[in-house]
Amino acid sequence: MNKSAFLGSSIVLLVLILNAGELTAQTKREKKVGVVQDDPGGRCDTTAWQLVFNDEFDGTTLDRMKWITYFPFSSDGSDECEGCRTMGTSNTIFRDDLVTVGDGMLHLGVRARSGEWYGKQKEHEGSTVRSIGDAVFTYGRFEVRCKIPRGAGLWPAFWGFGGETEIDVFEFCGEQPRLLKGALHRWGKPRFSNSGKHKAKDLSTDFHTYTVEWERDGISWFLDGQLVQYRGRFVNKRGRPLPQCDRPSGAKHTAPYFPRSEDGLNIILDLAVSEPKGFLQRPEEAGTLAGRDLLRCGLRARVPAEALAPTTGRSGSAPARPCQQRSPRRQARRCCHHQARSTQSSCSC
């Protein structure tokens, strides 16, 4: 190759590298800064939250009118599909017998037992519950009180999923129980994700309350009532979230990862074991999981009071109707009628 031809090739290569760099930089910005939309301005919703779904797990068995123990991704809603009892980078098959109820708590367990599910080989078994029936929510306050397990490879999570939207109230790496992780995912095309971390004390030593408040223009994460993370529907040019209240109206950039209002979410709790070099590190030896293999929880979900009005019920479901308060001391434990598949049931009042 002569010198001039070599120089010409070098220039072409340099242009390609520069263009690739520009595309990469643009992609990074697009992950944080979305399309421009008209913003009517922030509003501060001061109405009280109304309890529409809860489970105090007071009995001895799981309430099958509220929960299933797999992901209903098959054509008929059964567990007969590859992804119905496995999940992403978990090294886990979800099994029914590891979901138990007792002592006023839901118990989710794991064990070291290899197996196969629809051709997928896994080295551990774990557990999950997913809400069914009318327990599908757009906007609300989702709260769980849990004691998380500690141990390398353990992957406890509390999250909501529906349509293209996923809200992770918490995910923990079992070897780092001080690090609370919350995240938002939009699983459309293209996909968008945004996550945050909060460093606290060792959260595996006691019960703690984990909460997300999903409103029209903002999502807030709380640990024991303390705000630890916030993401807004609208962002500035650098992708930093704008407050959900007291914003001036006008055109603004949106956060591309912010949950879609048309997506109703099911509530999910699970305890899995990560694949080696997956979401977490390699699990400890099987025998060391004993004594630290339970996620213990009780759960509640609330929506804004206006969502209980007959004309503004949750998308795809009849509006919830609150029961009478049981007693002044238990104002926070209102209950509601709800549909569960084709059978109607109601909380006791």
Residue 99 belongs to a domain with what CATH number?
A: 2.60.120.200
Distance CA 332, CA 249 (A): 35
Is the per-residue pLDDT at 288 higher than 80? Answer: no
Q: Is residue 27 part of a domain?
A: no
| Position 232 confidence tier, pLDDT thresholds 50, 70, 90 | very high
Q: How far is CA 253 from CA 37, 98, 184, 207, 235, in A?
A: 6, 45, 17, 39, 6
Q: Is residue 282 part of a domain?
A: yes
| Average of per-residue pLDDT values in the chain | 77
Q: Is residue 328 part of a domain?
A: no
Q: Is residue 317 part of a domain?
A: no
| Average of per-residue pLDDT across 86-115 | 92
Amino acid at site 135:
A
Q: Is residue 58 part of a domain?
A: yes
Segment among 126-130, 172-176, 217-221 with least mean pLDDT: 172-176
Q: Is residue 17 part of a domain?
A: no
Q: What pLDDT does residue 280 have?
A: 65
Segment among 42-46, 141-145, 240-244 with least mean pLDDT: 42-46
State the total domains in the chain: 1
Q: What pLDDT does residue 175 have?
A: 86
**Residue partners of 41: CB distance under 8 A and separation at least 6:** 247, 248, 249
Q: What pLDDT does residue 294 have?
A: 67
Contact status, residue 128 vs residue 108, Cβ threshold 8 Å: yes
Amino acid at site 136:
V
The 3-state DSSP class for residue 335 equals coil
| Average of per-residue pLDDT across 285-311 | 53
Is the per-residue pLDDT at 273 higher than 70? Answer: yes
Q: Is residue 119 part of a domain?
A: yes
Contact status, residue 210 vs residue 169, Cβ threshold 8 Å: yes
CA 123 to chain centre: 25
Is the per-residue pLDDT at 147 higher than 50? Answer: yes
Q: Is residue 105 part of a domain?
A: yes
Q: What pLDDT does residue 336 have?
A: 22
pTM: 0.78
Range(s) of the domain holding residue 206? 49-312
